[in-house]
Amino acid sequence: MAILATMTVLMLPAHSATAQGPSEPLVQRIESLEAGQPVQVLGEPLLAREVLRRFYENHGFQEAWSFPGNRRELVEAIRQIANDGLNPEDYHGPLLSELALRARDDLSGEMQADIDLLFSDAFLLAASHLLEGKVNPQTIHAEWSASRQSLDLAVTLAEALRDNTIAATLDSLRPTHRAYAKLMEARNRLTPLLGHPWLPIADGPSIHPGDQDSRLPEIRRRLAALGDITAPGDPETAVADPTLYSQDLDLVIPSFQARHGLEPDGIIGKKTLAAVNLMPVERIRQIDASLERWRWLPQFLGEDYVIVNIAGFGLQLVMDGREALQSRVIVGRPYRQTPVFSDRIRYLVFNPTWTVPRKLMIEDLLPQIMRDPGYLERQGIRVYQGWGSDRQEINPAVIDWPSLSRDNFPYQLVQDPGPLNALGQVKFMFPNPYAVYLHDTPGQYLFGRQERTFSSGCIRVEKPMDLAEQLLAGAPEWSRERIDRLLEEKIPVTAVLPDPIPIYIQYWTAWVDEDQRIQFRDDIYNRDFRLLAQLRQSATGGNQLPTPVVARGFSASGGSDQPKSD
């Protein structure tokens, strides 16, 4: 056969069969894979085609899974992969469980080859999904090829079989970030709640401290199940009257509200009740989406980096591997979404001017100017005709503003530095195709809102000067005193970072905080549902995602993690 001519030096796993030559059934199967034909064995499709071919070619087309211990380890590892929010059935889990117990001596050569292929296919696909995710973040489609470029998975499988480290090898491919492990732990805590009654608690008047309400006993049960009430014993018997909003809830309710992104006012109103009603399966779905998004990130983020959680309205600066700063942020409105991407902050601009993006000029400012001719002057916005060094400033009074439109707008609008500048006193630049960056804002009062979707796509930072000082700590010439003097002068000045620092703009609706509390947030851009639909997509095209329960922050509409420009 032609394929035999490509055989390389044999590198057999430690417990491989001692056959003198290649397995003829394996050769036939691999030839079919090479021809691009869909191949099914024992009723299941082989998915990791290219890597399968390379693996068996490197090993002389001999069977690799003859050692029962390796088979048992893989079966258990596939079973455990559910804790990653992945479906064991995608990796032939149920069938492998049965096959692992079969005695090989009782099977035909064809059956032994098919079983071997299934075990290899399962390992390779699981390895691929653990390493970089099942869903492609650029297309939001499930990937079944296992053709990851960052690691030669054929070699990885060979080494795992040789060293009898199947489970340990798969575990090593998981994200090493502590945040990922904590999400898995939180998922494990919630899983026992599945299958238990979780009927909606009826709407009604808001419940204030001191109120008596027949819904409170069930609310207490839910809070106990979710771990918000930690008192031992039955929560109904822990208080004299479980229908009374008594002092035992004075701290519990605000804490529950805070970890759901709600105003921690202690009042059980409509939004708080909706969070209490959120079913365990919906909470687990949020965790599964967040786990997948962690798999999209590099294993090592760097010793120094900035990470922004769009859905959590928060920014974290890590320096020398430790958190150096946390800040609240404002992100894009739902119709001008902040994109998900990674880059490097390269320089800062103090006292920036703001060149209004064309879309904002036409859609936002043009109607405002036509309504209020004095708007531009009050906001310190200049009008220029032309671009670059040839542009000329134009008196806005001589412009026929009503005649302008999307197809006829030959001007630039540029806001001077100052207290009204939309970018505030500093912007953090990481040139990207979406024209998105971090910046200060004159609207500091908006950081007091719980949900902060007010920008046109860029990210406004509550503590911009603290962030600037930390980023420039490696450049002695940029002291805080010098920065303060520059701000008083209101002249644009650029400060180049000694070393560009990575920035990861991400979207997580679930995470575990430093106090080990699981945090949940609204899916503000409806991105979770589409991601989850693909995460539950089977290799045959069937969607295993149950019908969604529409509740606070959940809808059946689409959405994407694919970057969108302003």
By annotation, the residues acting in catalysis are 439, 458
Residue that the structure tokens 């003198």 belong to: 20
CA 398, 399, 402, 403 torsion-angle sign: positive
In whole angstroms, what is the distance from residue 73 CA to residue 404 CA? 69
Output phi, psi for 54, to 5 deg. Answer: -65, -40
Token pair listed for 481? 């005193």
Between the alpha carbon of residue 119 and those of residues 46, 339, 536, the distances in Å are 10, 39, 21
Collapsed DSSP state (helix, strand, coil) of residue 306:
strand
Q: Which helix (H) or strand (E) holds 308?
A: strand 305-309
3-state secondary structure (DSSP) of residue 258: helix
Beta pairing partners, 143? none
CB atoms within 10 A of CB 399: 16
Residue 428 to residues 338, 436, 490, 563, Cα–Cα distance (Å): 15, 10, 17, 19
Please return the burial class of 437, using the count of CB atoms within 10 Å of its CB with bins 0-12, 13-18 and 19+. Answer: buried
CA distance 330 to 461: 7
**Helix residue spans in 398-489 (DSSP H):** 464-471, 480-489
Pairwise CA distance, residues 442 & 456, whole Å: 15
- Return contacts of 354-357, CB within 8 angstroms, 24+ apart: 354/414, 354/415, 354/421, 354/422, 354/423, 355/412, 355/413, 355/414, 356/381, 356/412, 356/413, 356/414, 356/415, 357/435, 357/456, 357/566
State the Cα–Cα distance between residues 491 and 509, nearest whole angstrom: 40
Residue type, 65: W
Token code pair at residue 488: 């008083």
* DSSP-assigned letter for residue 39: -
Torsion of CA 494, 495, 498, 501, to 10 degrees: -90
Contact predicate 404/366, CB 8 Å: yes
Q: What is the 3-state secondary structure (H, E, C) of 318-381?
A: EECCEEEEEEEEEEECCCCCCCCEEEEEEEEEECCCEECCHHHHHHHHHHHHHHCCCHHHHCCE
Nearest to 464 by CA among 315, 294, 254, 355: 315
